[in-house]
A and B are shown apart, each in its own frame.
Chain A
C-alpha cells in the first residue's frame, strides 16, 4: 500500500465522520473547532515550524480576519466569502508590517516581540467602538441560508468548510516545505550565518513565509467568526486562547511536520472538552487543572511531539506489511 493511498483514506474517513454525528449536536461543533484549530496551527507551522520563528502573536492576524469580514457584512452586507479575501489581504499586510522590525530577532526575543502585537490589536478593537463595537463584541447577523451568503442552518457545512480549509493549508505547507523555499528555510533554520554566505536572502525568505502565514491565519479568522457567531476583542485577540494555543497545538503534535498540527488539534481540543464535560460539575476550576496536568504529562512523555508516536506506529505497521 502506497503512502498516497493512506492520505486518501484518512481524508475519506474525515469526510465521512461528520455524517455520523448529530447535525445539530455537540460533537460536530467540537469537531468543527478541532479542524479549524488544526488549520490555524498549520498556518502557524509555516513560520513557527519551517522558519523556526516561534510567533506568539498570531491572534493579531486571526482577529483582523474575524473583524474584517464581520464588519463588512454588518455595515455593507458584503458576503463573508469576499470579506474573507479582504481579511486575508489585511492580515498579510499586518504580517508584513510586523515582520519588518521583528524578523531580525531570534528565539525568545522574537516570541516576546510578537506577543505584544495581539495585545495591541486587542486594545485597538476595545477602543475603536464605532467600528468594532468595542468591548461589547460583534454578533454575526443571521441572514437567509445560502452558500453565497455563507449562512447555514446547521453546522455540517461549516464542518466541511473547516475540513477543506485544513486540507488547503496543509497542501500549501507541504508545497512550500518540499519546494525551493523549504530548502532555503531549512538552511536558515540550521545555520542562519551559513545560509547568508551561500547567497540566501534570509530576511526576504522569512518575510515571505510570515506574510503567507498571516494571510492564511486571517482567512481562518473569518471561518471562526462564522461558526462562533459572536466574538469580542478578548476572544479573537487573546494570547492564551488563540496565540499560545495554536503554538501549543503545533508543538505538541510535532512542529515543522505537516501531520503534527493535525495530531495536536485532535488531542487538545477534544480532550479539553472532555475534561470540561467530566469534571466541571465538581470543584470549580478542576477541569482546567486536570487538563493542564495532562498537557504537562504528555509533553514530558513526548517532548518532540505526537509525531514521534505516529512515526513509530507507521514504522511498525509497514515492517509487518513487508513480511
Chain B
C-alpha cells in the first residue's frame, strides 16, 4: 500500500476537469432515456429474489393476468383506450431497497400508482416513499400498522393481521362446535417476523376473549431447521388444536414432524405457507385435512380464477388473487377519475365502493375503503386441504364444503 502513494504527484489539469464535467453531466444523460407513450404506467414492486420470491412471483402473475385482460379488452376507456404498462421491479428482501425502487418508479417511470409488495416490512418501506410523493399504494400485506398510521395514500384490500388471527381462532372454535367437539386448550407457534407476531397477537387476544387456555405460546426464528423440540413441547402441552403461523419451509417442517410423530390434532395454519401449492407438493398425504385461515380463496369465484390456472398451471393462490383485485380496483378508479394523475386516482379510491370484475372474488363481493384505506368488506375465510385443492369451509354463508374435524 505504502509503495503506491509515492507515485501520485502531478495530474493533468485538463483530464481532471473533463472528468469532473462528465461526472456532473451523467444524471442528465441517464434520465433522458425515459420513454413517452400513450399508456398508463403502474408500478409493481415484489420480492422476486430471496426467501419470499415464490410469493412475489405468484403476485406478479396475478397482476399480469388482469393487465393483459384489460389491455386485450381495449384498455382504459375513459382515457381513450390507453393501455396499462406494468413496470415490474425487484424489491429483494430489504426494505431500504424496496423504498429506493419505489423512488425510481415514481421519478423515472412516472407511475400512476404502485402495487406491492407482499411482505409487510417491504410495503411499509414503500409507503414511506409513496406517502411523501402522494402516489397511491395498493397492497395485500396484512400488518396492522399499514393502515394504522393515518397515511392518506395507502389502500389495504384485505383484513388486517390481527383480524386474521382472531378469525383463525374464532372460526376454529365454531367449526369444532359444529362437529360436536369443544376446545378449551390450544397451542400457538409462530415465526418471529412482523407477520408472525402480529397474527399471534390476534390469536392470543381472541383466545383470551373466548376463555380458552393457551397451553403453549412459542416464537421461533424464521428458517428453523429442527422443529423436534417444538413438537415435543406440543405433545406434552395437552392442547386440542395447534395454530402455526409461518412461511413455507417452516410450515412443511412443522406439519411433517407432527404427523410423523403421529400427533393427529387439528392444525390450523395462518395463511402464507399453508395455502400455496408447494405446501401440498412438499407434504403429500400429510397435507390432507390441514386447515388454514386465508384472506381470500379461489373457489369463491372459479369463473375468474380458473383463467389463472389455465395460464400458469396452478390454482390461483390468495396473494395472486388479491393483487388481481387491487389492479382491477385501481383501473376502476382511473376510469371513474377519467385521469391517470396520482392525486385524482387517490381521490377516486378513497371512500368509494367498487363492485364487479375481480372484486367478486373477495368475501363481501366488493371492495370499499374506509378513511384509513382499509377494505372494510373483506372477511377472512377458513380453508381446508382436500385432494390437492383448497376448499372454503367457513364462514357458513360462503363455504363450498363442510369442514372435516378429527380430534
Contact = CB atoms under 8 A, between A and B. Distances in A.
Interface of A: 1-3, 5-6, 9, 12-13, 16-17, 20-22, 24-27, 29-30, 33, 123, 126-127, 129, 134-137, 139, 228-232, 234-235, 238, 241, 256-257, 273, 276-277, 280-281, 284-285, 287-288, 307, 311, 314-315, 317-318, 320-322
B197 A134 contact: yes
A225 B87 CA distance: 28
A29 B103 contact: yes
12 contacts: A1-B10, A17-B27, A20-B24, A135-B193, A139-B124, A235-B96, A241-B96, A284-B48, A284-B57, A285-B48, A314-B11, A317-B12
A284 B51 CA distance: 12
A319 B8 CA distance: 10
10 tightest Cβ-Cβ pairs between the two chains A and B = A280-B90, A284-B48, A285-B49, A26-B104, A25-B107, A13-B20, A321-B10, A281-B88, A288-B49, A229-B128
Contacts of B57: 284
A314 B12 contact: no
Contacts of A280: 48, 88-90, 101
B94 interface: yes
B139 interface: no
A189 to B, nearest CB: 10
B49 A230 contact: no
Contacts, number: 168
Given A230-B95, A232-B194, A281 B89 contact: yes
B124 to A, nearest CB: 5
A66 B219 CA distance: 25
A13 B106 CA distance: 27
B103 A26 contact: yes
A20 B90 contact: no
A247 B351 CA distance: 49
Contacts of A277: 89, 104, 108
A234 B11 contact: no
A134 B201 CA distance: 12
Contact of B197 (A5, A27, A136): A136
Given A20-B27, A129-B197, A288-B92, 14 more contacts: A6-B8, A20-B28, A24-B133, A26-B104, A123-B221, A135-B197, A136-B194, A228-B95, A232-B194, A276-B97, A277-B89, A277-B108, A281-B87, A318-B11
B24 A135 contact: no
B90 A17 contact: no
Contacts of B8: 3, 6, 311, 314-315, 318
A266 to B, nearest CB: 10
Contact of A229 (B90, B99, B197): B99
A315 B10 CA distance: 9
A134 to B, nearest CB: 6
A26 B108 contact: yes
B85 to A, nearest CB: 11
Nearest to A236: B96
A288 B25 CA distance: 28
Given A27-B30, A322-B10, A139 B92 contact: no
Interface of B: 1, 4, 7-13, 15-16, 19-20, 23-25, 27-28, 30-31, 48-49, 53, 56-57, 60, 87-90, 92-97, 99-101, 103-104, 106-108, 120-121, 124-125, 128, 133, 143, 145, 149, 192-194, 196-198, 219, 221
Given A1-B10, A16-B24, A135-B197, A311 B4 contact: yes
Contact of A137 (B12, B108, B194): B194
A135 B196 contact: yes
Contacts of A241: 94, 96
Interface centre among A33, A284, A314 (most CB of B within 10 A): A284
* Dominant secondary structure of chain B at its interface with chain A: helix
Given A1-B11, A318-B10, A230 B31 contact: no
Contacts of A322: 9-10
B86 to A, nearest CB: 8
A193 B92 CA distance: 45
A14 to B, nearest CB: 8
Contacts of A235: 94-96, 121
A101 B29 CA distance: 52
Contacts of A321: 9-12
A24 B12 contact: no
A85 B104 CA distance: 32
A297 B99 CA distance: 29
Nearest to B221: A123
A48 to B, nearest CB: 13
Contacts of A234: 93, 121
B4 A307 contact: yes
A238 B7 CA distance: 39
A311 B2 CA distance: 12
A22 B31 contact: yes
Contacts of A318: 7-11
Contact of A315 (B7, B19, B23, B124): B7
Given A9-B16, A24-B133, A315-B7, A228 B99 contact: yes
Contacts of A127: 192, 219
A317 B15 contact: yes
A320 B12 contact: yes
Contact of A317 (B11, B23, B56): B11
Contacts of B24: 13, 16-17, 20
A230 B25 CA distance: 32
Contacts of B16: 1, 6, 9
A40 to B, nearest CB: 13
